[in-house]
């Protein structure tokens, strides 16, 4: 463990961009956990006399058309967007890893069926498929999480299937098999742990996409509903204000959305460097 932390710190020092992205992700997690205690105003409180005020010392990010403080809403929305993305990615990773590992290890008819099923899912544009699922299931946070998880499953399924398929006849697997390990032991104690580094990188990359997906669904009215603070809803509500010059209503939630996706994508690149043994030599 100490050696792993030492290697991680060495790589972070060698790559300032990864260090900054890790700090950005940490900031997002802090806002997600402690956001309700950090907001200067109630994110749901309206004030008709303070509507569409420009950024000032009283309201750093300005106010929206209902007089709500935009900074408070941006901070409050962090918890919801991070929770949706993390829940969806964890669900899709667990399902995709388990099914992909079994398909790659057993092969045969099960592997062919899973392969065709994955091809069918990936034949649709992912955002369009998520739109259809949410429209069919109904507008709720739970259905947004479920739809995002379903469209993400093929990434993990195909990746784990390929990784297990490559390693199932490796020397260490043959040694474990000769030692008396059963199929379940080989799969869950040998193959899956050795295939997790690329899965971890994929999870980091999908976190950014999941945030964009949730915000996009909310933007078109198929995700989280107003007045709940959510970055996509805030951008949609402020779109009409852009034409009259109230740029801050859209810019600040848009920047928060861009910042989160940017940090998670860069973190995925950094994790790839950390988990690659060749880069630690």
Q: Look up residue 112 and give its two tokens.
A: 């062919």
Residue 2, Cβ density class (10 Å: 0-12 exposed, 13-18 middle, ≥19 buried)? exposed
Give the chain's domains with CATH numbers: 17-41+63-276 (1.10.3720.10)
Q: DSSP character for 37?
A: H
pLDDT digits (tens, 9 = 90+) for 143-152: 889 999 998 9
Q: pLDDT > 70: what percent of the chain?
A: 90
Residue 91 predicted with pLDDT over 90 = yes
pLDDT range class, residue 75, cuts 50, 70, 90: very high
pLDDT range class, residue 93, cuts 50, 70, 90: very high
Residue 106 predicted with pLDDT over 60 = yes
Residue 250 predicted with pLDDT over 80 = yes
Residue 278 predicted with pLDDT over 60 = no
Mean of pLDDT values over 225-230: 82
| Segment holding 250, helix H or strand E | helix 248-275
Q: What local confidence, expressed as pLDDT, does residue 273 receive?
A: 63
pLDDT digits (tens, 9 = 90+) for 135-170: 888 888 888 899 999 989 988 998 888 888 888 777
Q: Considering the entire predicted model, what is its pTM?
A: 0.85
| Residues 231, 116: Cα–Cα separation, whole Å | 36
| Segment holding 47, helix H or strand E | none
């Amino acid at each position: 463990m100490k050696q792993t932390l030492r290697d991680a710190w060495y790589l972070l020092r060698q790559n300032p961009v990864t260090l900054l992205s890790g700090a950005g992700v940490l900031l997002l997690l802090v806002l997600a956990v402690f956001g309700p205690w950090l907001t200067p105003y109630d994110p749901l409180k309206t004030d008709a006399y303070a509507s569409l005020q420009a950024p000032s010392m009283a309201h750093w990010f300005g106010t929206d058309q209902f007089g709500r403080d935009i900074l408070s809403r941006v901070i409050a929305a962090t918890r919801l967007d991070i929770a949706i993305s993390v829940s969806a990615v964890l669900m899709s990773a667990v399902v995709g890893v388990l099914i992909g590992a079994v398909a790659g290890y057993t092969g045969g008819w099960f592997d062919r069926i899973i392969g065709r099923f994955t091809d069918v899912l990936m034949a649709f544009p992912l955002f369009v498929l998520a739109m259809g699922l949410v429209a069919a299931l109904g507008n709720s946070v739970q259905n947004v999480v479920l739809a995002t998880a379903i469209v993400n499953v093929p990434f993990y399924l195909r990746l784990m299937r390929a990784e297990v398929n490559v390693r199932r006849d490796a020397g260490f697997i043959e040694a474990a098999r000769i030692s008396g390990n059963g199929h379940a032991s080989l799969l869950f104690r040998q193959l899956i742990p050795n295939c997790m580094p690329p899965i971890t990188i994929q999870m980091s990359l999908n976190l950014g996409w999941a945030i964009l997906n949730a915000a996009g669904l909310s933007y078109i009215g198929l995700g989280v509903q107003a007045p709940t603070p959510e970055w996509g809803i805030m951008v949609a509500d402020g779109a009409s204000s852009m034409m009259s010059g109230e740029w801050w209503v859209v810019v600040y939630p848009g920047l928060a959305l861009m910042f989160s996706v940017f940090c998670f994508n860069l973190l995925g690149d950094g994790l790839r460097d950390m988990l690659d043994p060749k880069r630690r030599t």
